[in-house]
Amino acid sequence: MKFLLASLLASVASAFTVTGTFAPSPHLPNPALLPPTTSLTLTTSGTTARTLISTSNGFTFHNISAGSYLLDVACPSHHFAPLRVDVAGNGDVSVHTTFRGNEWSNLGEARPYPVMLHAIKTADYYVVREGFNPTKLLANPMILVAIVSLVAIVGLPKLVDKMDPELKAEFEESQKKVGAAQANPLGGFDVASFLAGTSKPATPEVKQSGKGRKN
């Protein structure tokens, strides 16, 4: 019965049109770039009206009867948010923001008519496979820490060796103090003994004196 009434209404007062445009947005500065297959649908129970984007970057639905519609845009290159479009019995069109799953009785924020459509996202089709990338590997914080510590282990003693003897003595003195104050776990790390499998690393004192003399 209801459907009969609806179809009757449709045949009597169905000359309404719903129009709108694709507006520029940060994701889509030039709507003319949208592909010609960009399609729009107005749906409600019993009706599905479809149209395509036009050469003037707009759209027009012809022959729409009064009712409350969901406007969806299917576009291969961009995403658009759905809108609620209400066509009143006298042909007045009101547009509201909506979101999927919204209770239909909840009206969203009112929007101007003719409808303005803004792209909210560009469509990404592909996932790029994570390949081996040396620069990315070097950017890894763990690798950076390892490199810095390696430089410290290898480079520092040589730097100390090249220092003025007095300054060197002073530095070693301060180092001992610092070392005694707080044992830096990284500073005391010995790559060689670690690789050799020695369970407890040599003490900082032993290591420093050993290195200083024998190398």
Partner 1 sequence: MRVSSTPLASLLVGFAAILPTTLAVFQDEAFQNDWHIPLLGPSLRESTFFHRPLLDAKASLIYTLTERNIIAALHPKDGGIVWRHQLEACASKKLARAVEGVVVAGSCGNVKAFDAVTGKLAWENRFEGGNVKDFKSAGKEDAVVVLFDDGSVRMLEGGSGIVMWEWKGLDAKDTPYSISVTSDSVLVVSVQPEKTSNNMHITSLVLESGLPAKFSRDLRSSVESVDNILSSDALMAWTEDDFRILKMVPISGGRLSGENVKIPEGVIDIEVHTDSDNVALVHYKTADKSWGTAYRWDYEYGPVMSYLDIEEKPGADSTFSISKSGGQTFFVWSFANGEAFLYGEQGQLAEYSPKFEYKGNHITNAASEVITRSDGASYAVRSFISTSAPGFKGNTHLVRNGDLEWARKESLASVSVSTFAELLDPAAEKVANELNAEGHKSIGAAYVHRLTRHVQELIEYGPAWVSGIPVRVMDAFLNKEKAEIGGKWRDFFGYRKYAIVATEEGGLAALDIGKKGEIAWESNVLPIEGEWKGALGVYEVSKGVVAVVTKGGEYLEFDAFEGTMLHREKIPGCGTIKSSSTVDGIGRKLVLAVLKCGKVMVLPSGSPLPETVFLAVQDDAGHAKGLKVASSGKPEQTWVFNPPTGEQIASISTRPAHDPIASIGKVLGDRSVMYKYINPHLISIVTADPNGSTASIHLLDSVSGAVLHSATHTGVDTSKPIVSTVSENWVVYSYYGDDTIPGKTAAKGYHLVVSEIFESEQKNDRGPLGGAQNYSALAGETGEPFVLSQSFIFPGEITSLATTTTRQGITSHEILALLPEYSSILGLPKRMLDPRRPVGRDANPGEVEEGLVKYFPVIDADPRGMLNHKRELVGIKKIVTTPALLESTSLVFAYGGDLFGTRVTPSMAFDVLAKGFSKIQLVGTIVALGVGVGFVAPMVRRKQINQRWSNS
Q: Which residues bind partner 1 (CB under 8 A)?
A: 2-3, 11, 14, 36-37, 39, 41, 43-46, 48, 50-55, 60, 62-63, 68, 70, 72, 74, 76, 79, 81-82, 96-109, 118, 120-121, 123-129, 131-132, 192-193, 195-196, 198, 202, 206, 210, 214
Q: Which is nearer to partner 1, 82 or 187 (CB)?
A: 82
State in angstroms the smallest separation of the CB of 106 from partner 1.
6
Closest CA to 133 of 119, 146, 143, 123: 143
Q: Which is nearer to partner 1, 77 or 175 (CB)?
A: 77
Q: Which is nearer to partner 1, 105 or 182 (CB)?
A: 105
State in angstroms the smallest separation of the CB of 90 from partner 1.
20
d(Cα 49, Cα 19) in Å, to the nearest integer?
Answer: 13
Q: Are strands 78-80 and 47-52 parallel, antiparallel or unpaired?
A: unpaired
Peptide bond into 165 cis (omega under 30): no
Structural tokens at position 111: 């929007």
Q: Are strands 115-117 and 110-111 parallel, antiparallel or unpaired?
A: unpaired
State in angstroms the smallest separation of the CB of 180 from partner 1.
21
Q: Which is nearer to partner 1, 63 or 140 (CB)?
A: 63
d(Cα 152, Cα 190) in Å, to the nearest integer?
Answer: 11
Length of the chain: 215
Q: Which is nearer to partner 1, 138 or 163 (CB)?
A: 138
